[in-house]
Structure 1
Amino acid sequence: MNSTVLTGCTVVDARVLDGVAPLRDAAVWVRGDRIAAVGPADDVLAEAGRDHRRVDLGGAFVTPGLANMHTHLSLSLPGQGGDAVKGLSPHDLAFYMADGARRTLLCGVTTVRCVAEKDHADFALRRAVTAGRAAGPRIFTAGRALVSTGGHGHEGTDTLECDGADGFRQGVRSQVKAGADLIKVMISGGIAGEHEDIDTRQLFTDELTAVIETAHAWGRKVTAHAGPAPVIAEAVELGLDCVEHGYQLTPEVVAAMAARGTALVPTLLVTRCKAFFDELGVPEWMQRRSLGAGPRHLESYALALAAGVEVLLGSDMPPFWDFEGTNATVRELEHMSDAGLGPARALYAGTLGPIRWLGAEADLGTVEPGKYADLIAMDADPLESTSAFRGVRWVMSGGRIVRDDQNGRAAL
């Protein structure tokens, strides 16, 4: 069994919100794919004995890897860039997504939640990553998102058109059969649908009830693409577990979300990313709708924070995408922090919070013995500024070092 001791570091994770102070002059002993010990360097080195590799992180801050809860590795927005992805053959798509997974891992995102991927290629990619045949983050996936006929995203093979309560029940079961960890449903219009508005209602009550009841019966949580307050309010009342975007929230809706424990993945980037849209050739109608929704989107996010809604990191843009001097994941987390969350809560929103929603906290989310060794290191303190994550220079996944800038190489 491989044995590695990480020294020369300060260990910090989201438990700071519970009073667990950062551990300075620390060491982390990794045995196999899990953390064996964390503590003062001398104590950990003595416990690890002689038979180990020692890695000096040069004073870095070590945190759990980031978890991106709104990921599309096969994203194809309207425009030339999206058309190129839509035109990929199934074989080309698999390689395209595998490359995206590798790049995602290298930027320090060690867990993703996919919320609509094409042709069920995400399941094959998950199997390949788990088996070690492909490099990438741990993948939790919804498979294909459920939509009404003609609903948001219906044009692609990353959605499944359903109608009526029975149709949506069958849709949920089809994704569970394929191996889905959760269910994604589109309950309103959005910014990428030319023949709809953000506040277009797309499911009736019996259909929404069928999705949530069926998914919960199978032990799967449900997250919903949703913009307007009325449809979100109804979904929350029916037991929705998570809202994606939430462009038009109200005080009443966020109060209900907080009371029922419905999380929000705000994806603030999607209404403030003109350079990304220009790069992909996104048409003017979509850019106007997206950027025009930005101020109200930010107001909704502020309402959610004030009400105590749990907010979780999710970029919608590909997690690894180079954007405004960093990657999309870190840029989203910066927006969340700067808009009222603050660095400590942003650390939670980007690590332990998502892991708890996924039900994986026994294995991930903190730097503790027994957890998987999914770790990242940076030179600046993430409790001082969320922008510290721009400086991620070292990544470990399941006990394997996959990036090490200090030695001038990426291992993948």
Structure 2
Amino acid sequence: MTPAPEIVLRNCRVWDGVVETPIADAEVVVRDGRILACGPAASGDRSLRPGAVDVDLHGATVLAGLVNMHTHLSLSLPGPGGDAVAGLSPHALALHMADQATRTLRAGVTTVRCVAEKDHAEFALREAIAAGWVPGPRIFTAGRALACTGGHGHGSTDTLECDGADGFRRGARAQIRAGADLIKVMISGGIAGEHEAIDTPQLTSAEMAAAIETAHAWGRKVTAHAGPAPVIEEAVRLGLDCVEHGYQLTPAVARLMAERGTSLVPTLVVTRCREFFDRLGVPAWMQQRSLGAGERHAASYQMALEAGVEVMLGSDMPPAEPFEGTTATVRELEHMVALGLSPRAALAAATAVPARWLGAGDELGTVEPGKWADLIAVDGDPTADVSALRRLWWVMKGGVVVRDDRRAAPGS
């Protein structure tokens, strides 16, 4: 699909991600896939390019497309639902992930950060999306996550088992060779490992240092699956760029993260997702570990907010997963707000902040001239109530409308 030469989005409010409140009676001009202008509606007639298209957004609020920073398009948790995905052939897996990508885009998530996918299939998917063969979000990926032998996520083709400093250097280089944008390391146990605990340390200091130093030397950031505060503290002191989950932070470690500029993707929804687990048939031991960690997880997140840690949206399940009347992405944002983040800060954590972390802040994350026209429209004001995102009905990526629930039916 190619964008029209010029598109004018009218009859809308715009939250550009820069000012505090949405701009009333606004318009956005999109040309050749990028934002040409944004602001109060122009008075009088304006000359448009031949073939220009006017789009009436019926008073909706327009904002930048969402960025989900903890995505697994090939997720397969323990249980029958996950087993079905794990058993797919390579060809079927690619089709499954393509379907997840399309659903993700239609859910208003225009960019994802994949943090462990099976068989490096997301690299081919990324190319297919860029070529226009498959509709989907912009993909930034870590390739396969690096784990120690028997470590968190072992036994699946979305992780690579490594041991020793040299092993983790080779593992990081192998992901970079494949085209990884970042590196992920599994530095502690977690929810989905039957023979571990959330607070099980899994990497030595030398192994963590090797992965971080190698990635940084190649210009890649490093994020870590991590639960306990002592392990997180050690990794932060070694230069870790981001923590996934952070189930058991302490105020002191949260302050250290803020001082060192280490971000947090809290994935609050993963300790509050009985409905999702039940649907997949996740075993009792995992449900108990996950749901039982919820209170401590929330406290850790609040410690991070109090310390001033930069937080970013991540669902740790497919972004468009139907969940509690909305998607996993929106439900995560609602949890982030309910536990202390303001609605506007939560929207920034889902747009501009992750775009900057990914090194794409000049291209994505806000509604400003020159950036890609990755835009969504919702009824209501999400800067006052993020639950307005439940009423998302229009999505554009790169100047192409990929969802319009109010488009007139043929012949109407």
Same fold (TM over 0.5): yes
1:157 aligns with 2:165: no
| Per-residue deviation, residues 15-39 of structure 1 (Å, max 9, x unmatched) | 23xx5x4211111111111011112
Note the residue ranges of structure 1 that are not aligned, 5 or more in a row: none
Report Cα offsets for 1:24-57 as digits up to 9, x if no partner: 1111111111011112222596264565110010
Residues 171-220 of structure 1: CA deviation (Å, up to 9, x unaligned): 00000000000000000000000000000000000000000000000000
Residue by residue over 1:269-303, the C-alpha shift from the partner in whole angstroms, topping out at 9 and shown as x without a partner, is: 10010010010000000000000000000000000
Query: 1:8 — aligned with what?
Result: 11
The answer (yes or no) to whether the contact 1:5–1:48 under 8 Å persists in 2 is no
Which residue does the alignment assign to 2:328?
Answer: 328
Seen in structure 2, the aligned counterparts of structure 1 residues 47 and 239 have a Cα distance that, compared at 3 Å, is: farther
Tell me whether 1:256 sits opposite 2:259 in the alignment.
no
Q: Report which stretch shifted further, 50-59 or 192-201.
A: 50-59
CA deviation after TM superposition for structure 1 residue 408, in Å = 5.6
Contact map agreement 1:38 1:367 (CA 8 A) in 2: yes
The residue that corresponds to 2:303 in the other structure is 303
Given that 2:17 and 2:367 are in contact with CA atoms closer than 8 Å, whether structure 1 keeps it comes out as no
TM-score, length-scaled by structure 1: 0.97
Task: List alignment gaps of at least 5 residues for structure 2.
Answer: none
* 2:27 matched residue in structure 1: 27
Which residue number corresponds to residue 124 of structure 1?
Answer: 124
The answer to which of 42-51 and 372-381 deviates more is 42-51
Q: Which residue of 2 aligns with 1:147?
A: 147
* In the alignment, structure 1 residue 53 sits paired with structure 2 residue 56: no
Contact 1:28 / 1:35 at 8 angstroms: preserved in 2?
yes
**1:144 touches 1:175 (CA, 8 Å); kept in 2?**
yes
Partners of 1:305 and 1:135 in 2: CA distance: 35
Q: 1:338, CA displacement in angstroms?
A: 1.1
C-alpha RMSD of the superposition: 1.3
Whole-angstrom distance in 1 between the partners of 2:154 and 2:16: 40
Q: Distance in 1 between matches of 2:229 and 2:352?
A: 27
CA contact (8 A) 2:128 2:134 kept: yes
Aligned residue number for residue 40 of structure 1: 40
Work out the CA distance in 2 between the residues paired with 1:408 and 1:353: 36
1:107 equivalent in structure 2: 107
Could you tell me whether the CA contact under 8 Å between 1:29 and 1:44 is conserved in 2? no
Q: Deviations over 1:138-188 (max 9, x none)?
A: 000000000000000001000000000000000000000000000000000
Confirm whether residue 350 of structure 1 aligns to residue 350 of structure 2.
yes
- Report the equivalent of 1:314: 314
Matches within 5 A, 1:69-84: 69-84=69-84
CA change 1:258–1:46 in 2 (3 A) is: same
Percentage of matched positions with identical amino acids: 68
Counterpart of 2:66? Answer: 66
CA–CA distance in structure 2, aligned partners of residues 333 and 253 of structure 1 = 24
Corresponding residue number in structure 2 for 1:179: 179
Which SS does the other structure have where 2:136 is aligned? coil
Q: What letter corresponds to residue 322 of structure 1 in structure 2?
A: P
Q: Counterpart of 2:16 in structure 1: which amino acid? A: D
More helix by share: 1
Asked whether the 8 Å contact 2:22–2:61 carries over to 1, the reply is no
Alignment TM-score, normalising by the size of structure 2: 0.97
TM-fit CA distance, 1:95: 0.1
Structure 2 distance, partners of 1:251, 1:354, is 23
The alignment covers a number of residue pairs equal to 407
Q: Do the aligned partners of residues 32 and 393 (structure 1) sit closer, same or farther apart at CA in structure 2, a change above 3 Å counting?
A: same
The DSSP-based 3-state class of the residue aligned with 1:63 is strand
* Distance (Å, rounded) in 1 between the aligned partners of 2:287 and 2:51: 57
